[in-house]
Every structure is written in C-alpha cells, then in structure tokens.
Homo-oligomer: A and B are copies of this chain.
C-alpha cells in the first residue's frame, strides 16, 4: 500500500462519484500524485438507476470502471478499498488494509438513505443508490407480478399489485412513471391470471405537492402527467409504519393502512458516515443530514488541506442556504477543489471562494414528458423530454454507453419493451410465499 517516498504533492480523493471523479479528472495535468479510493470499482450514473430498477437498461450501461476512465491519467492511481478512519494530524487515511498518506485530501463519499429514525425499514423498502439496490428493486418489482400471477387469493393478489413509492422528488416521480409504463404497457399481455395494467402505483410525499423544489406551475404539470399515467398521488401524507405486507400513511392523525408487499424508498438521504468521522477528527458537529460544514474554499475548519465536496458537505450559498445534493454541485465543487490544489502545489494561490453556478434542473415523468427549470425559464412537455434525454445521454462517461443507452431508449420507445427484466440474486424471502 505504501508507495516510495516522492517529492510530489500527494492528493488522495475518496469516492469516485460525480465530485471525486471530476476532481481526479481536473488534476490530470497538475504536477501532483493522485490516488482515487472507492469501495466499488465503477463510477455510477445514479440519475438513471431507476431505469435499471425497472428493466429498461442494464447496470453496465450506466456505469464505467474507474480504472478505465482514468487509464490515461499518468499521475493517477485507482484503489478499490474501504476508508475506515482519518488521522488529520499525521495526514493519513486509514483503509481496511493499510493506510494512505496525503498532502491534500478530497472527501467525496456521497450519501446513502435515511429512514427518518427507522433503520429497520431499510430491508423492507430498498432505496436507489447502488447497482445492487437497483437490481434488488428490479427483482422485488418483477417478483411481485410473478407472485400475483401464482396466487388464488384475491386479497393477496391486490396487495402484490400495489406498489408504494415513498418520496415525491425526481427519483420517486421517475420511478412512478417507469412503473406505470412497465405495468400498463410492457407486461400487459404477458400474464394469464392477472391484468398487470391494473396495478396500483402510489406516490407518497409529505409535502403539499410532488417535485416541491420546482415551481408550482411545473409541479402541477408533473402532477397532471402522473395522473394520466394512473399514478395515485398521496401528497401531504407521511409513512408511519412499514411492515412486510402493509404500510401506514398518516395525515393529521388520520391513519390509513395500505396493503402492499413492495415499498420503494425515494425519500431521505443521509451523508456518508465518513462526514461524522471527519467531524469527530476535527472537533466539529454534523448537521441533521449528517453533513459536515465547509468553508468558502470547501475546506473544513482548522484543516485547509482537507476538502469535502458533494452530498457530504454542508456548503452555504450566497443566501446562507445549504446547496442541494445534486450532481452539478458535486461536479463544480470537484473542479474547484482540484484547481485550488493544483494552484497551491505549484506555489500559487486561489483567492476566490467556491460559487455554485446553477444551470437549472430537470426531471422526467414517464415517456415523452419532462419538466425543465433554468432560472426564470421553465418549460414542460415533449421538448423538455428531448432536452432531458440529450442532457442525460451526454453525461454518461463513455461513448460506448451513450450509444448503447440511445439504442435501447429508441428500441423501448418504439416497442414499449424493457428487455433487462431479470430477476437475479433474489433473497429467498421474496420468491416464496410469506
């Protein structure tokens, strides 16, 4: 694990997501030695995970080996390892095997799900952060239809054909749209005992409307589209119980029990536990979402060579509001941290602090419909959907994956098929009767 002593400035980057990968890429020509550490061997384009979960794309279509992406970076080394601690005084990162010394450290380990104080829900309501999450979700969704086909009990069948998505943000809305497409079109003629198109898809959100971060107009457009797709919207309700065969939704002390065996989690996120470790190591606190505060240069107080970027960082904008956990934030932060380190390592400095440039955001609602918000400009519909397609396609890291995804999207659009509908790595619990 140790490398021979070198005079070069050593940069360790933790995490190969949007922020960490961008930082490594931005350091390509810098006179530094970069080590990128990630638990997994691939960069994952998380915004399209819901398409893997609903059988539209294969995992490898939206992922690329980190080694392969950084192959031509002569100054960069990739290590698949798990970070277990920090020693900020001796400037080392502790790995599950060995340790790494750094001169500058960029921590970009992202976030995982938060079950709002109910960690026991995680096995009942999988989220969507990794490939394993997506193939697990895919198996649960498809197995629910399989089990509904097998059973003779009308109540069980109804429960199996009820899907509850928790969280009305972009992921929840995109999942609901894709599930509607799957049940109403793709699977329509494949079963003999059930009508897949009669499946109930519920989208539960605590807020008054879905996609609450968008303008009211766009949110209304999305609502209308979801209703057309047959999605049952449950706004203003919170989930107060999740059990193997039902969930309880609560609004103003009114409890409603919904029979379901498939609950999909698209709600809370919590920063990687590495944020807490860093906070402990530097005598700070994390916020409610587990994020550590960073200064305007993205470093943490007391350690100007330790940068935290992306979902783990609590980084305030000009209005004093924390920046959202979005890919563009992480990417811009990765660029900034890399630039700062490159400057410093060549004896220069960077006076300007980090400023997030918001280029807008977008979400898709089923086939042929998306909403786009770019500052004051906002639009919804078919053209927005084409913009969504183009932007997402171009963000995939490899050219091969762009072509593979484009081909499959075109094919699925024409045939309404979703061919990656495999049930694999299935825990016994979801294939046998409960």
A residues apposed to B, CB below 8 Å: 1-2, 40-42, 58-61, 63-65, 67-68, 71-72, 77-81, 96-98, 131-132, 135, 142-143, 146, 149-150, 152, 187, 189-193, 398, 400-401, 403-404, 407-408, 411, 415, 417, 419-425, 431-433
Q: Which residues of B contact A419 (CB under 8 A)?
A: 60, 64-65, 68, 398, 400-401
Q: From A415, which residue of chain B is reached at the shortest CB distance?
A: B400
Q: Which residues of B contact A421 (CB under 8 A)?
A: 41-42, 60, 65, 68
State the CA gap A28–B273 with chains docked (Å). 56
Q: Which residues of B contact A64 (CB under 8 A)?
A: 419
Please state the number of chain copies in the assembly.
2
Cross-chain contact A77 with B150 (CB below 8 angstroms): no
Q: From A68, which residue of chain B is reached at the shortest CB distance?
A: B190
What is the CB-to-nearest-CB distance from A84 to chain B, in angstroms, rounded to a whole number? 11
A-B contact pairs, 9 of them (CB 8 A): A2-B152, A58-B58, A64-B419, A65-B190, A67-B187, A67-B190, A67-B191, A71-B189, A97-B433
State the CA gap A211–B231 with chains docked (Å). 56
What is the CB-to-nearest-CB distance from A161 to chain B, in angstroms, rounded to a whole number? 16
Cross-chain contact A131 with B424 (CB below 8 angstroms): yes
Taking a contact as CB atoms closer than 8 A, the residue among B63, B67, B407 that contacts A403 in the complex is: B407
Q: From A130, which residue of chain B is reached at the shortest CB distance?
A: B424
State the CA gap A60–B60 with chains docked (Å). 10
Tell whether A97 pairs with B142 under 8 Å between CB atoms, given A67-B191, A419-B400. no
